[in-house]
Amino acid sequence: MAVYYLLLLRYEIIMRHHSYFKNSLFKITIPDNKMNTMPLKRKPKQARAEVTRSIIIESAAQILLKRDYASSTTNRIAERAGVSVGSIYQYFSNKNDIYESTLDYYLSKLAAGVISMDVSVNLSISETFEIIVTKVYGEWPEGPELLRKLRQSPDPHFHDKILDLKRTIVSYFSSLVKGRDEISHLESKDLNISLNICMDSIEGIFLNASPDISPARLAKEISLICSRYLTAQGDE
């Protein structure tokens, strides 16, 4: 058990010393007073392994944000994670495997964060877009940079994984706005096409936006672009 909590504490230390991960998708927290009030039980090896694996993924992301893909070596990841290179290979087959897992983890948490949002049906389409974009971009402002660099990896399914995420968000957004008076001119098929076009536009902006633009301003501009596109089609 002591080893398990030492790993958790190391994970928390890593998070506190790197600003990007203070609001990260990857965060794990230790319940208050757990070490003082819980009886000394032996934690499953699987739980300890998952913490170690998360530390390695965190460290890999931190290294990649500061370097390019080629120089983000397994040795550097191991040094940042505070584990041996041999330990790395207990969890991942190679560097590419580490970064494929980093992408998978990032995208799955991103999708879960969006579809778990409690968005009021009384909001306008523009306001709904703004809330969702703020959720995606505002909480993880370095997400675009991480995704840009993960594109350098040889993951053959990178684009398919991004496409799956976009489909998930489009499906969720469609369920929020379907039947609204603002887009009553759009048939279900047309709405799906239009939302996919919006999502492609958001992806391009998300990955290429200047870091000088604040998350709030970016969310506002994207919401205006997409809502005006959807509602203006009825004026043709």
pLDDT, one tens digit for every residue, the chain (236 residues) = 554 445 555 555 444 444 444 455 545 443 444 434 444 333 447 888 889 999 999 999 999 999 999 999 999 999 999 999 999 999 999 999 999 999 998 888 888 888 888 888 788 888 888 888 887 776 677 788 888 899 888 888 899 999 998 999 899 888 888 888 888 888 877 888 999 999 999 888 888 877 788 878 888 898 899 989 988 755 55
Q: What is the DSSP string of the chain?
A: -HHHHHHHHHHHHHHHT-GGGGG-TT---PPTTHHHHS---PPPHHHHHHHHHHHHHHHHHHHHHHS-TTT--HHHHHHHHTS-HHHHHHH-SSHHHHHHHHHHHHHHHHHHHHHT----TTS-HHHHHHHHHIIIIIS-TTHHHHHHHHTTS--TTHHHHHHHHHHHHHHHHHHHHTT-GGGTTS-HHHHHHHHHHHHHHHHHHHHH--TTS-HHHHHHHHHHHHHHHHHHGGG-
Q: Report the number of distinct structural domains present in the chain.
A: 2
Same domain, 107 and 65: no
Which residue, 67, 92, 117, sits at the end of a domain? 92
- Whether residue 120 sits in one domain with residue 80: no
Residue 201: domain span: 99-235
Residues 58 and 123 in one domain: no
Same domain, residue pair 72 and 158: no
Model's pTM, two decimal places? 0.72
